[in-house]
Structures are given as structure tokens and as C-alpha cells.
Chains A and B, each alone.
Chain A
Amino acid sequence: MEYVLIIISAVFVNNIVLTKFLGICPFIGVSNKVDTAIGMSGAVTFVMVIATIVTYIIQHYILVPIGISFMQTITFILVIASLVQLVEIILKKVSPALYQALGIFLPLITTNCAILGVAILAVQKDYNLIESVFFAIGHAIGFGLALITFSGIREQLELADIPKGMRGVPIAFIIAGLMAMAFAGFTGMVK
């Protein structure tokens, strides 16, 4: 039950894009087509869960025991950057089909603040390993949900008659605002 709550809270109540403002760059950048949005969400889910597990182990078995937890930011970002490269190499070898689908999105993920953000948040919230994994999965699903529905709306938007000054990014932000309003309806569902 506890794990279900963590997931519901991460997907709806504290949606990473629409209420926490992490991962806005890919949210605006790769949301023109539903297909690319699905690919990006897949890649983010994959890396986010692995990164959270690895950073959890580093934080609790290396940084805290030798008392250098102030090195958190430097260690985490380096670990995530090399992890992304590693995942890319392994995927290429093990599953070329999956690599084809996610490949182009992987390099972009290093600078996706959602990955580092979730890793740091999981540590700040003092979750144990299993809770951290569910926390990461929930946030990844939330990211995918927001990104894919948003790209669906943007595809329809190309046919709409939008005032000249609002075309492109401004209207995207207005739509994101309306979506955030819808998600704000979940506030208070889980404490």
C-alpha cells in the first residue's frame, strides 16, 4: 500500500513536470510529435530508475560512511553522465532494436534535470532502496504521462488558427499552464 501511495503521489499529485518544474527542456523541446515523445519517455524511465539505484548505493555506502556527503552534486552528475554512456554502449550491443528506438534520446538525458532531481530528492526524503525505486518509477511515469498527452495536444494544435504572436513556444506554455491546472486538482489527495 505504501508503495502504491508513493507511485500515485509521484505520478499525479507531485507530477515532476507540471508541479515540480523539472525536465522542462525536453518537455518543450521534443513534444512536437507523439512518436518522439514516447521514445523520450522510454529513455527517461530507463535511465531514471537505474540512476536512482546507483546514486542511492553511492550515497549510502560511499559518501555517508566516509563523511563527504557535501560532494553529492559532483559525484551524482558524473555518475549520471557516465551511466548514460554506459547504458548507450550496452544497449547497442545487447538490444539493437531498443537502441534504435531510444538511441538518439540518450545523450540528451545527461542534462535533463529530472534525472538528477529525482536522485537528489530520493536521498533527501530518506527513502530506502525499494521506496527509491518506486519513487523513480512513479516520477518517470508522471514525466511520460505529461509529455505524451502534451505532444498529442501539440499535434492537434498545428491545425488550429492561433494568433501570430502566440505561435510556437508561447502557446505551448499556455497549454502547459492549463494542464498544470488540471493536475493541481489532485493536490491534497496524498499527503
Chain B
Amino acid sequence: MSQWKNFTKGFIKENPVFVLFLGLCPTLGTTNSAINGIGMGLATTFVLVMSNLVVSLIARLIPDKVRIPSYIVIIASFVTIVDLIMKAFLNNPGPNFEPSLYDQLGIFIPLIVVNCIVLGRAEAFASKNSVMTSLIDGFGIGMGFTFALLLLGSVREILGSGSIFNIKFIQGDGILLFVSPPGAFLALGFLIMLMNKLSRKIS
């Protein structure tokens, strides 16, 4: 498999959200706007790349029996790093006192540690492949995840608040249902249906 294919597989063919249905909790919980979606996606990508890097480096040193707990400790360390970095730099309230990105993502930042995508890639890919391949894999899958969150976040923000990246293009409110929890389920259901249809047409 070429490195380019290794990178791009996360977008359509092995998209963690639309095809593998992994990491659905942050997908639904943090996509009430496009910016929140990107923030969550990038935080997860960082953890994914770093944990893939470390796991592929030390996979041969870890005894098979304590493999999973060791991976969890590695992942949890990087999640703590992301949490502290975001608390330090992305914690300023907006101009109209809207909550900061750190507050908006809230509990979903520590919960990256139980995101099945991260542990799944460490176990299924990074522990068996070279450092470079694992790095590209982590980055590709992370970007695929970010792409899915951005797509869902944009759809919900456009329909729900009539804006994109906080730039309003209609007067007044949108269809408020789509920024509230039920809208997350509905929007994701229809997006998965569309993606199924698209990927069937491509292949």
C-alpha cells in the first residue's frame, strides 16, 4: 500500500464515523457548530498521531499480556497533555461572553481516552507497522475524523443557526432543532445514508 493511499483511506473508504461507526459520542456531542467540530477533530488527531508514534516505537518492548493497559496509559497521557494545553490557551470567553472552546467541548476532552478510534488504531495498526507508516495512518484517520465532524458541524450550524464558522447569513434564528440534541441524531442519520449512497456509486 502506498503512503498516499495509507493517508487518504481515512476520508471515505475507512472513515471512522461514516463507515466504521467509531467515536460516535464526540461526533454527536461536539458538533453543534463547525468550529467545535474542528476543535474536537484536531484534538483527537493530535492524540491519535502521538499515541500511534509511541506505540509503534515501543510495541516490541511491551509484553503481550499487559498490551492494552499500556496502550491506555500512553493514550491517557497524551489526552492529559491536550487537556492542559487547551485549558491554558483556548480558554478565553468570546467577545459576547460566549463560552470558550475548552468549555464547549467540556467533558469530551478527557473522554478522548475512551474513544474507540484511538485504541483501535494503536492495537490494530501501530503495534504491527513501522513508525513512519503508523504516523501517516494516525494523521490520515485523524483527518478523516475531523472531516466527518466538520461536515456534520457545518450541516447542523447552517440549518440550526443560519451561520457558518460564526458568520451569519440569514436574519434571526434557523431551525433550532438542529443545534439541539435530537438534531444531532437526525443529521448524522441522513449524512450516513448519503455517504452510503456516494461510496456505493464510487465503487
Contact = CB atoms under 8 A, between A and B. Distances in A.
Given A121-B107, A170-B193, A174-B186, A28 B79 contact: no
A178 interface: yes
Contact of A78 (B22, B69, B79): B69
A77 B114 contact: yes
A110 B76 CA distance: 14
A28 B21 contact: yes
B156 to A, nearest CB: 12
Contacts of B197: 165
A174 B193 CA distance: 11
Interface in B1-44: 21-22, 24-26, 28-29
Interface of A is mostly: helix
Nearest to A22: B25
A21 B182 contact: no
Interface in A15-66: 18-25, 28
Contacts of B73: 74, 78
Interface stretch (A4-12, A90-98, A112-120): A112-120
Contacts of B186: 173-174, 177
B182 A120 contact: no
A166 B191 CA distance: 10
A180 interface: yes
A170 B80 contact: no
A100 interface: no
A89 interface: no
B185 A176 contact: yes
A81 B193 contact: no
Contact of A173 (B22, B76, B119, B188): B188
Contact of A117 (B107, B119, B196): B107
A181 B182 contact: yes
The number of chain A residues touching the other chain, given as a range, is 35 or more
B90 interface: no
A181 B181 CA distance: 8
Contacts of B58: none
A160 interface: no
Given A21-B28, A77-B113, A173 B185 contact: yes
B192 A24 contact: no
A62 B107 CA distance: 22
Contacts of B29: 20-22
A171 B196 CA distance: 13
Interface in A115-130: 116-117, 120-121, 124
A86 B79 CA distance: 25
A71 B113 CA distance: 13
A177 to B, nearest CB: 3
Contact of B114 (A82, A112, A121, A174): A112
Contacts of A121: 107
Contacts of A78: 69, 72-73, 76
Nearest to A118: B107
A74 B76 contact: yes
B110 A72 contact: yes
Interface string A145-188: 00000000000000000000110011111101110110010000
Interface of B: 21-22, 24-26, 28-29, 68-69, 72-73, 76-77, 79-80, 83-84, 107, 110-111, 113-116, 119, 177, 180-186, 188-190, 192-193, 196-197
Q: What are the 9 closest A-B residue pairs judged by CB atoms, nearest first? A: A173-B189, A177-B185, A21-B29, A177-B186, A180-B182, A74-B76, A170-B193, A181-B182, A24-B24
8 contacts: A18-B181, A70-B80, A73-B110, A111-B116, A117-B111, A171-B189, A173-B189, A177-B189
